[in-house]
Structure 1
Amino acid sequence: MPVTVLITGATGFIGRNLAADLSRDGCAIIALSRHAKDARAVLGAHVRVIEDLREVMEDEPVDACVHLAGARVIGPPWTPGRRQTLINSRTHITHALIELMRRLTRPPRVFVSASAVGWYGCPDEQGNAPCDESSPGTPGQFQSDLCAVIEKTAMQAEGLGTRVARMRFGVVLGNDGGAWPMQAAMARLGLATVLGSGRQYFPWVHIADAVGLIRFAIENERISGPVNVVAPASSTQAEFAESLAQSFGQRVRLRFPEAPARLCLGEMADLLFKGRLVEPRVALTSGYEFAWPGLHPTLADLATRQNHGTRYV
């Protein structure tokens, strides 16, 4: 394992789990945050928090850089201004990180950059054609174009001799952040919902495997280029809703139609009502062993942890 890891977005759902996991193994963590006091409260005194990359000296050893920061994609409608905000919130920091790498006496040996399965776009409602890391994007769809810009910017680090892993995340499930807690609260009340037809695929991954795959990319010199961070067991949104309800002893009783949501959300509704069948081919062929490959055991585990008040951080 690298000795020192620089993380952006370290106070976010994935970032704080990753920082805690690396810290337990003795890694030194440098966390970039605009709000240092709040970040120290979240991450603990053992994590060095900086507000500006200029606080990192040229001769400091930074073995790996993990870039997770960025504005939430699901939020305000994708107006032209919002689209630019989503792009800038990721690429501006990427450019700053690459400038830091140029300034360092020894650039990091690996740069892990967060992207998403939105790279593949949504060619149809169900997205039945399987996608792996070799599959093309869908130019003209914003979620695909956003990922393309993110990944192209991150690849500039390769010119410094730094290995770049572009992590294409599906929906990350955990009981301390992300989409699962709200969905679980609804399911516990018997309000688990099928979205539209429910036949659209729902790429997901347990937080333990999201962290595990980032670490795998850091440690494994063979990993470069795109990596799909999704579980190997694919499921549709209806299957996910049913399994989520079952994890709390409930049934699916509700269905939410697409038309009213699309009137409010526009193209952003694709994130909910369209999907792709995404396969983690790079992870599997490289020897990564998923801790949580199946949907039902994953959701049962998260429900049990919530019931007992235990988390992964």
Structure 2
Amino acid sequence: MPQTLLVTGATGFVGRHLVARLLADGHTVMVLSRDAARARRTLGSEVRVLDRLGDIAPDTRIDACIHLAGARVLGQPWTAARREELMRSRAAPAAKLLGLMHRLERPPRALLVASAIGWYGKVAQGADLPCDETAPPQPGQFQSDLCAAIERDAQQAEALGVRVVRMRFGVVLGADGGAYPPQALPARLGLGAVLGDGRQPAPWVHVDDVVGLACFALAQEGLSGPVNVVAPETPTQAEFARALAASFGRRVHLRVPAAVLRLAMGEMSDLLLAGRRVVPAVAAEAGYAFRHPALAPALQALAAQMRA
């Protein structure tokens, strides 16, 4: 049935794809954006754009909220100021959503929040063992602490009877944004590289399945708690690099030593050098069918889009 949905972070890579799908499915979409004019240009006239949630009347019907907002984790060095910004860029919109839920005469039935597989951090042993949604966080590791804070904020909505789904994203691949284009360009030029020893697991997911799982979670009233948003097939980083190069008819000849990445990136290098073999156990048990379960065909399809 058509629903009224409120989305934060709607102008981002995942947000644009999700909003387009929600509109195509006949839903009414409201978005919170600091730049309303840009949001309208990006998302189109069908979307109601708000720059403050205080404009929403208490008797407004909102069936579900989807919280995708947050500054990009991989990029600028994790200085103290940058860590604070990464936390604040997620916590501030979450607090506004919670305040809205308290004001509404009828709170939303569901809240979907974008977390990440960084929740699982890195471990000294067993990184190649299957890691499902029951695995604990790793306190003291920033990527894990960030995800734990995101999910803790979201869970406050449960006190209002809101069903909270904590979506832990792997590396999201899509031809028009996210992690794929910066990796595809060097691979296309024959400059793809193995990072470190290349044995670290590299969980990934196609943007089609991020959107598909979000819509699936909205429809499944019995689904709550953490959901690993990753494809069933988890390659090592070396396997990923070779499959990416092969999608452009290239091979991998380069290797970047771990020490170089750690020197250049500090703790942020863990995003590239350390990983867990995260599996989508909850999605599989709930019956979600992945559109892109295997890496090589997914990369071939994305390469074709890049060449088109």
**Partner residue in 2 for 1:70:** 70
* CA drift at 1:3: 1.4
CA distance in 2, matches of 1:125, 1:251: 30
Residue deviations 1:144-183, cap 9 Å, x none? 1111111011000000010000000000000010010121
- What residue number does 1:234 align with? 234
Alpha-carbon distance between aligned partners in 1 of 2:175 and 2:71, rounded to the nearest angstrom: 21
Partner of 2:205: 205
Task: From the superposition, tell whether residues 307 and 294 of structure 1 become closer, same or farther in structure 2 (CA, over 3 Å).
Answer: same
Partner of 1:282: 282
Partner of 2:268: 268
Structure 1 residue 110 displacement after superposition: 0.3
| Aligned counterparts, 1:149-160, within 5 A | 149-160=149-160
| Structure 1: runs of 5+ lacking an equivalent | 309-313
Tell me the distance in 1 between the aligned counterparts of 2:118 and 2:2: 30
- Give 1:16 shift: 0.5
Q: Give, in whole Å, the separation in 1 of the partners of 2:185 and 2:82.
A: 29
The match for 1:79 is 79
Structure-2 separation of matches of 1:120 and 1:182: 25
Equivalent residues of 1:125, 1:200 under 8 A apart:
no
CA 1:126/1:74 → structure 2, altered by over 3 Å: closer, same or farther? Answer: farther
What are the equivalent positions in structure 2 for 1:214-233 lying under 5 Å apart?
214-233=214-233
Any idea what the Cα deviations from partners look like across 1:261-295, whole Å, max 9, x if unmatched?
21121111100111110000000000000010000
Q: Which residue matches 2:301?
A: 301
Deviating 4+ runs (over 4 angstroms)? none
1:27-38 aligned at under 5 Å gives the runs: 27-38=27-38
CA distance in structure 2 between the partners assigned to 1:104 and 1:45 by the alignment: 25
Could you give the per-residue CA deviations for residues 31-86 of structure 1, whole angstroms, max 9, x where no partner exists?
11100111111101111111111121111111110000001111222122211111
Q: Which amino acid aligns with 2:285?
A: T
Structure-2 separation of matches of 1:182 and 1:266: 20
* Aligned pairs (5 A) from 1:180-199: 180-199=180-199
Asked if structure 2 preserves the Cα contact closer than 8 Å seen for 1:2 and 1:64, the reply is no
The SS at the match of 1:153 is helix
Distance 1:128 1:263 in 2: 25
Larger mean CA deviation between 54-63 and 194-203 belongs to 54-63
Q: Distance in 1 between matches of 2:199 and 2:121?
A: 16
Residue 132 of structure 2 aligns with an amino acid whose one-letter code is: D
Task: State the one-letter code of the partner of 2:283.
Answer: A
Distance (Å, rounded) in 2 between the aligned partners of 1:127 and 1:182: 26
Structure 2: which 5+ runs fail to align? none
8 Å Cα contact 2:2/2:26 also seen in 1? no
Q: Are the counterparts in 1 of residues 164 and 224 from structure 2 also a CA contact under 8 Å?
A: yes
2: CA distance between counterparts of 1:152 and 1:3? 26
The amino acid across from 1:83 in the alignment is R
1:109 corresponds in structure 2 to 109
Letter in structure 2 aligned against 1:114: A
1:209-237 CA distance string (max 9 Å, x none): 00011111111011100000000011111
Q: Which sits farther off after the overlay, 289-298 or 258-267?
A: 258-267
**Is this contact kept in 1: 2:228–2:282, CA < 8 A?**
yes
| TM-score, normalization by structure 2 | 0.98
* Residue number in structure 2 paired with 1:42: 42
Contact 2:231 2:290 in 1 (8 A): yes
Match of 2:92 in 1: 92
Structure 2: how far apart are the matches of 1:65 and 1:22? 12
Matched position secondary structure for 1:62: coil
Specify the SS of the correspondent of 2:270.
helix
Percent identical residues: 57
Instruction: Answer whether contact 1:125 1:275 (CA < 8 A) is retained.
Output: no
The residue that corresponds to 1:311 in the other structure is: none
Q: Distance in 2 between matches of 1:79 and 1:2?
A: 44
Question: Is the partner of 1:183 in helix, strand or coil?
Answer: helix
Contact 1:126 1:199 in 2 (8 A): no
SS in 2 for 1:112: strand
**Structure 1 residue 305: deviation in Å?**
1.7
Partner of 1:251: 251
Length-normalised TM-score, structure 1: 0.96
Residue 2 of structure 1 and its aligned partner are, at CA, apart by 4.7
